[in-house]
Amino acid sequence: MDMETTYPLVASVKPLAGKHLLVEFRNGTAKVYDCTPLLAEEAFAPLADETLFRSVRADPHGYGVLWNDAVDLAESELWLHGETAGHPARAPHAPTAR
């Protein structure tokens, strides 16, 4: 039996400085994805335009993020190559000194 790998679906995305994306997945994990290496590829060159880059949105079904009909990233790419982001509001509190 051939088992297909599945990845968490995207819940939301927010553009960050330096051509980074903050991607929140439906399983509660947040990752920061660096888009700068993509800019060297012809298909992603339009993302050099800051206005276009900041227009990113999550696919309504969670299968990635998109900018327009020609430029998008799959949830698997974001999951596999994103760096896990911390959530200060959800982090456990440090012990206090007495």
The beta-strand segments (E) located in the chain are 10-16, 20-25, 30-34, 57-58, 64-66, 72-74, 83-84
Which residues partner with 34 through β-bridges?
20
Q: What does the block give as tokens for 50? A: 């800051």
Q: What does the domain layout of the chain look like in residue ranges?
A: 10-84
Q: Indicate if the pLDDT at residue 44 is higher than 70.
A: yes
User: What proportion of the chain, given as a percentage, has pLDDT over 90?
Assistant: 81
Q: CATH number for 10-84: choose from 3.30.1330.20, 3.30.2020.10, 1.20.1260.10, 3.40.50.1000.
A: 3.30.2020.10
**Over the Cα atoms of the chain, what is R_g?**
16
Is the separation of the CB atoms in 16 and 65 below 8 Å? no
Please say if the pLDDT value at position 92 is more than 70: no
Residue 86, pLDDT score: 74
User: Higher confidence at residue 89 or residue 77?
Assistant: 77
